[in-house]
């Protein structure tokens, strides 16, 4: 029997030309692709959820949107058309309902427990607070939280203030007492001050960007790599393509990445060999209570790396976005100036504690974070093998769930006049206004639940102090209105915003000379 089968197969293949074999293979592959696309649209467990047919059939449209930096806008348009739950890929749902924050990201008492972060996006961060599994994350959170408490940040204030003071020395060189000063790229300066602060706190030494007037090589590599990182992340769902990309990656790029990791690791090692001072590494090294295991040097390095990357870009983005919005809304700038000038007689009175409870400053920052959230992307979670219930609907096993902050905050079902910068919506206003129906629960700029942003206290402190000093000291306006008047609208989002130059002119306020 075996001989006859071998003979038969040999006869078949001998009778086929190479062209026929290729045609047959292509036919089989084509038939499989058609079957797979048809299955995804007609028979997949997520088929009941609305969305574009092409996006339901294949992940390619969604991946291309992410890789080209346009996903935040496209997902918003999909939610405006299809509703709160949209199928954006064969196995992925985007949710734009405010209740989803609690149900997907919150502390869950259901039998299936936490909806975990999607390994495709966070597998490389397992040793850090960004991607650690639940139990390990809880331990890391308890340890790292000590460095981000209000008390700890007050202890760190002297260090933070030294870099803020350096920023304002530079700004004072560009202001004018009469008329407007020379244009200055405030986006770059906010990058510099955020980098100097977080590296001093998280790596044990500052990059000194403000002093040199240049991006540190680590930061330049990070910024240059953003589009590539977004593309590679989008391609992770196509395993063969991703492996090919990794194999074809230039060796020089790989070496540069390794050099940057070695640099930050060596900075942490140097800091560990030095005396204690109030910073994030001190918090990671403090004795732990109970039976907790102290962090290893490897874990300290991994978390320092993550905290530096996250703490730098998000803060700089928020500072630049808020400044742009203030500069383009004269009435907001005047009202904020009035609050600050009536509260502080001298600049030295502006600090972390004194800026904590200023209602209009807080409203301006919140509205800027709503308009221009630093974490605009979807932060994907993955449903476990048993499936789950979200918004009273059964979500099948292994479904990816994303909550796009940009779509959540710009959706007219959640916010009245969502594309308008109106800080007053966050204040308790009497009388009939459309803002009374705003869904404030939708606004979670630091995420939500046990895995929310651990650095929110530090970020808020930096935002309040720097913006308060800026508005207290200066009038400012866009210097290149023709080129940068749509600075927000023209940006792409590669996991993080691709921010371009933002030039402003400064004029010292009347009666406020040094």
Residue 188's closest CA among 228, 218, 223?
223
Averaged pLDDT, 112-117? 85
**Domain boundaries in the chain?**
44-508
**Structure tokens of 264?**
């930050």
From CA 397, how far away is CA 390, in angstroms rounded? 12
* Binding region for heme: 453
| 360, pLDDT greater than 70 | yes
pLDDT band at 1 (very low <50, low <70, confident <90, very high): very low
Taking Cα atoms as reference points, which of 469, 176, 507 lies closest to residue 351?
Answer: 469
**144 contacts 452 by C-beta, under 8 angstroms:** no
Annotated binding site: 453
Question: Would you say 41 and 54 are in contact if contact means Cβ atoms under 8 Å apart?
Answer: no
- 22 vs 234, more confident: 234
Q: What is the pLDDT of residue 21?
A: 77
Q: For residue 160, which of 277, 241, 238 has the smallest C-alpha distance? A: 277
Q: Would you place residue 437 in the very low, low, confident or very high pLDDT band (cuts 50, 70, 90)?
A: confident
- How high is the mean pLDDT of the chain? 91
pTM: 0.92
CA distance 510 to 425: 30
Q: How far from chain centre, in Å, is Cα 395? A: 26
**Gap between the terminal Cα atoms of the chain:** 100
| Cα angle value 486/488/490 (rounded, 5°) | 65
Average pLDDT of span 130-140: 91
**Strand (E) or helix (H) holding 7:** helix 2-14
Give residue 504's pLDDT.
Answer: 96
pLDDT confidence band for 514 (50 / 70 / 90): very low
Whether the predicted pLDDT of 9 surpasses 70? no
For residue range 290-323, list pLDDT tens digits in order: 677 889 999 999 999 999 999 999 999 999 999 9
| 107 Cβ contact partners less than 8 Å away, ≥ 6 residues apart | 449, 450
Determine the average pLDDT of the residues in 8-26: 64
pLDDT band (50, 70, 90) for residue 124: confident
Q: Is the confidence at residue 466, as pLDDT, over 80?
A: yes
Report how far residue 456's alpha carbon sits from residue 119's, in angstroms, rounded to the nearest whole number: 24
Per-residue confidence (pLDDT) for residue 250, from 0 to 100: 85
pLDDT at 14: 56
Say whether domain 44-508 belongs to CATH 1.10.630.10.
Answer: yes
């Amino acid at each position: 029997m075996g001989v006859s089968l071998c003979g038969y197969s040999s006869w078949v293949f001998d009778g086929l030309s190479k062209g026929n074999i290729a045609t047959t293979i292509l036919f089989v592959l084509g038939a499989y692709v058609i079957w797979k696309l048809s299955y995804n649209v007609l028979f997949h467990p997520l088929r009941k959820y609305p969305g574009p047919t092409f996006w339901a059939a294949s992940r390619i449209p969604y991946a291309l949107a992410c890789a080209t930096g346009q996903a935040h806008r496209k997902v918003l348009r999909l939610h405006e058309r299809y509703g709160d739950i949209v199928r954006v890929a064969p196995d992925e749902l985007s949710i734009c309902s405010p209740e989803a924050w609690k149900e997907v990201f919150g502390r869950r008492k259901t039998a299936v427990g936490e909806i975990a972060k999607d390994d495709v996006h966070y597998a490389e961060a397992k040793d850090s607070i960004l991607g650690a599994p639940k139990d390990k994350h809880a331990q890391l959170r308890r340890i790292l939280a000590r460095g981000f408490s209000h008390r700890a940040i007050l202890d760190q204030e002297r260090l933070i203030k030294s870099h803020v003071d350096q920023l304002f020395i530079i700004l004072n060189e560009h202001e004018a007492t009469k008329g407007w000063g020379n244009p200055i790229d405030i986006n770059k300066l906010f990058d510099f001050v955020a980098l100097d602060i977080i590296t001093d706190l998280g790596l044990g030494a500052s990059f000194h960007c403000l002093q040199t007037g240049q991006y540190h090589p680590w930061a330049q590599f990070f910024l240059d790599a953003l589009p590539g990182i977004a593309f590679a992340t989008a391609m992770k769902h196509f395993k063969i393509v991703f492996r090919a990309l990794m194999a074809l990656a230039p060796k020089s790029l790989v070496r540069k990445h390794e050099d940057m990791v070695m640099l930050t690791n060596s900075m942490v090692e140097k800091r560990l060999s030095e005396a204690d001072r109030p910073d994030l590494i001190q918090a990671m090294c403090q004795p732990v209570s109970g039976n907790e295991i102290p962090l290893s040097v490897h874990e300290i390095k991994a978390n320092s790396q993550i905290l530096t990357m996250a703490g730098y870009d998000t803060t700089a983005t928020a500072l630049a976005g808020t400044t742009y919005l203030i500069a383009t809304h004269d009435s907001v700038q005047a009202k904020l100036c009035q609050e600050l000038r009536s509260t502080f007689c001298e600049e030295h009175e502006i600090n972390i504690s004194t800026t904590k409870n200023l209602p209009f400053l807080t409203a301006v920052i919140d509205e800027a974070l709503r308009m221009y959230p630093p974490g605009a992307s979807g932060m994907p979670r993955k449903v476990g093998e048993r499936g789950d219930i979200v918004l009273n609907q059964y979500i099948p096993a292994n479904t990816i769930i994303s909550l796009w902050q940009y779509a959540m905050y710009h959706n007219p079902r959640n916010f009245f006049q969502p594309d308008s910068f109106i800080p007053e919506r966050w204040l308790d206003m009497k009388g009939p206004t459309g803002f009374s129906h705003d869904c404030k629960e939708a606004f979670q700029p630091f995420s939500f639940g046990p895995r929310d942003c651990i650095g929110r206290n530090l970020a808020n402190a930096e935002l309040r102090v720097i913006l308060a000093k800026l508005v207290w000291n200066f009038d400012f306006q866009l210097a290149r209105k023709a080129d940068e008047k749509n600075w927000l609208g023209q940006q792409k989002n590669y996991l993080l915003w691709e921010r371009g130059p933002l030039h402003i002119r400064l004029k010292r306020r009347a009666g406020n000379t040094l």
